[in-house]
């Protein structure tokens, strides 16, 4: 094999001294609990990447719809220079691109990115990313989750895959019997297995297992709020960041175990499966096809009495969630559909049709005396009924019982046009490339100086929070604590901060049951 070993070379980790030459540049050999892995350098040598590392055994065959089990050890050195498979899924979102080995159920892998100068003595903060996609799509390999930039701010970044859709969240009566009364939430348990892998191995890569920040967007943010409530995850992380989502609203919220089990059983029987062995023998593509059809049961988190002992909101209300610093928020235009072609008259008609006897209360909270005011109210309401209100409830719950600092943001910079988005909105998922410093991975976008400035500021805020539990730092606009001042930061150009001026909107949604609107 062509290469060289130079143990004295700067930046070589104490865990392994094999530095070899490769097409991508020097790569480093690390010994994990499962075996040795060989990574590569990226970003002009500033970052080391170790890709496609198994954190659990392939959940195939008899392991389909079972909690994750430990990955098998291997002999020799495992190449870790390419992404593994992304988890089997349907075509859920057009803007999701996967430059990896393709779809498979054999997908429980993670990626580790470290600063080039990190050593086993560095004990750098660890940032653990959970991708979004409605618990039905997505992967760590998406270019917008690229790990080239964040580690240059002095952190170790871990990005993970987890089981999705029918493979991650199917529940049935037969599965309940097999699991002694527990079923579902396999995708969430995958996250716990990945966190356990981090605890066992991350020091070899220069990370501090005693300072792990979990962060995610959309379903990944729902997962962060849920992990904070799960007894299985306690002690595996120390800070949390949620971007656009919390398991406190109607979307992706945990449902009834018994109801989902009955629905899942009925669905499985329609496939002709007489037992779990026959269900596990059905090809993955067929399951995905059937799960995407109209009438298929919702497959998402449930109160399974194992990962979740009770609804997430109940755990927070009782103060039994993780008492850790939280940074969370959402984007201005998460759901802009209501604002399309909107006028004063159209907004009033919407209020009458959807709010009934609560119309006056609604228009007081979401006024529309001018077309511009109606559009702004529609953007606010659309964002809140999608993910904003649940995120706000999460923040409020942590303030009340979390016994730790809480920081809140509102992402407001309207994006330039790109291949999948028309521009002029701070849309759902728009923040991801800013957080990762991966703006140039968005197809067709022509970025402005203000975009790059905001991305740099957000990377610093996020990594400062991972380091200390406080996003503030030298040269950054001050970010007030939400738990102390009720204030939030407006991530825009320029960044500003101040009190929350829209509390009446949340009060309306708290006061008026969802079934009445």
Q: Could you give the residue numbers annotated as active site?
A: 218, 334, 428
- Name the residue among 236, 244, 145, 249 with its Cα closest to residue 188: 236
Q: Are strands 40-42 and 47-54 parallel, antiparallel or unpaired?
A: antiparallel
Residues 106, 64: Cα–Cα separation, whole Å: 10
Beta bridge mates, 491 = 411
Residues 171, 256: Cα–Cα separation, whole Å: 10
- Name the residue among 77, 154, 145, 159 with its Cα closest to residue 116: 154
Beta bridge mates, 111 = 159
Residues 359, 351: Cα–Cα separation, whole Å: 5
CA 14: distance to chain centroid?
32
Is the C-alpha dihedral spanning 298, 300, 305, 308 positive or negative?
negative
Beta bridge mates, 29 = 38
386: which 2 tokens?
Answer: 């999608």
Contact 244, 431 (CB under 8 A): yes
Contact 347, 377 (CB under 8 A): yes
Residues 193, 68: Cα–Cα separation, whole Å: 7
253: which 2 tokens?
Answer: 């919220």
Contact 449, 429 (CB under 8 A): no
CA 78: distance to chain centroid?
28
Residues 139, 231: Cα–Cα separation, whole Å: 26
Residues 279, 65: Cα–Cα separation, whole Å: 10
C-alpha torsion angle, residues 314, 320, 324, 330 (rounded to 10): -10
Name residue, tokens 């805020």.
461
Helices within 136-275 (DSSP H only): 165-169, 173-178, 186-201, 219-227, 257-270
Contact 492, 349 (CB under 8 A): no
Contact 186, 280 (CB under 8 A): no
Residues 158, 63: Cα–Cα separation, whole Å: 25
**Where is 41: in which H helix or E strand?**
strand 40-42
Beta bridge mates, 129 = 159, 215
């Amino acid at each position: 094999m062509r290469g060289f070993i130079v143990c004295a070379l700067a930046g070589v980790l104490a865990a392994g001294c094999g530095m070899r030459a490769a097409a991508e540049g020097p790569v480093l050999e690390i010994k994990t609990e499962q075996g040795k892995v060989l990574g590569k350098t990226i970003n002009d040598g500033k970052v080391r990447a170790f890709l496609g590392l198994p954190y659990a055994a392939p959940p195939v065959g008899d392991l389909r719809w079972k909690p994750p089990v430990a990955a098998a050890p291997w002999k020799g050195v495992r190449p870790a220079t390419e992404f593994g498979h992304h988890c089997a899924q349907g075509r859920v979102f057009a803007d999701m691109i996967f430059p990896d080995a393709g779809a498979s159920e054999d997908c429980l892998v993670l990626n580790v990115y470290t600063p080039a100068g990190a050593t086993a003595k560095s004990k750098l903060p660890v940032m653990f990313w959970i991708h979004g996609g409605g618990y039905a799509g997505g992967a760590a390999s998406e270019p917008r989750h690229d790990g080239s930039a964040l580690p240059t701010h002095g952190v170790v970044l871990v990005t993970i895959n987890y089981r999705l859709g029918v493979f991650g969240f199917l529940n049935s009566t037969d599965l309940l019997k097999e699991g002694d009364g527990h079923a579902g939430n396999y995708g969430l348990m995958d996250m716990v297995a990945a966190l356990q892998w981090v605890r066992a191995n991350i020091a070899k890569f220069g990370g501090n297992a005693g300072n792990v920040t979990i962060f995610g967007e959309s379903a990944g943010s729902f997962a962060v709020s849920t992990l904070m409530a799960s007894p299985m995850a306690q002690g595996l992380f120390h800070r949390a960041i949620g971007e656009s989502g919390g398991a406190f609203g109607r979307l992706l919220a945990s449902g009834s175990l018994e109801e989902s089990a009955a629905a899942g059983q009925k669905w499985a029987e329609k496939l002709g499966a007489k037992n779990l062995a026959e269900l596990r023998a059905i090809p993955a593509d067929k399951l995905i096809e059937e799960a995407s059809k109209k009438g298929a049961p919702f497959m998402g988190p449930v109160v399974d009495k194992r990962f979740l002992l009770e609804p997430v909101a109940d755990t927070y209300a009782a103060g039994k969630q993780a008492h850790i610093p939280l940074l969370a928020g959402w984007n201005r235009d998460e759901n802009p559909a209501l604002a399309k072609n909107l006028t004063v008259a159209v907004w009033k008609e919407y209020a009458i049709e959807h709010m009934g006897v609560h119309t006056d209360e609604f228009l007081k909270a979401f006024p529309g005396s001018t077309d511009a005011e109606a559009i702004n109210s529609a953007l606010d309401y659309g964002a809140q009924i999608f993910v904003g209100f649940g995120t706000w409830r999460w923040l409020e719950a942590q303030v009340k019982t979390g016994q730790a600092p809480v920081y809140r943001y509102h992402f407001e910079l309207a994006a330039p046009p790109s291949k999948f988005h028309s521009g002029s909105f701070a849309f759902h998922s728009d923040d991801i490339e800013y957080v990762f410093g991966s703006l140039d991975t968005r197809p067709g976008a022509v970025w402005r100086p203000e975009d790059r400035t905001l991305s740099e500021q957000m990377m610093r805020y996020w990594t400062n929070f991972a380091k200390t539990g406080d996003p503030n730092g030298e040269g950054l606009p001050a970010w007030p604590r939400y738990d102390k001042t009720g204030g939030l930061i407006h991530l825009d150009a320029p960044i500003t901060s101040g009190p929350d001026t829209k509390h009446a909107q949340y009060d309306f949604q708290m006061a008026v049951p969802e079934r009445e609107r």
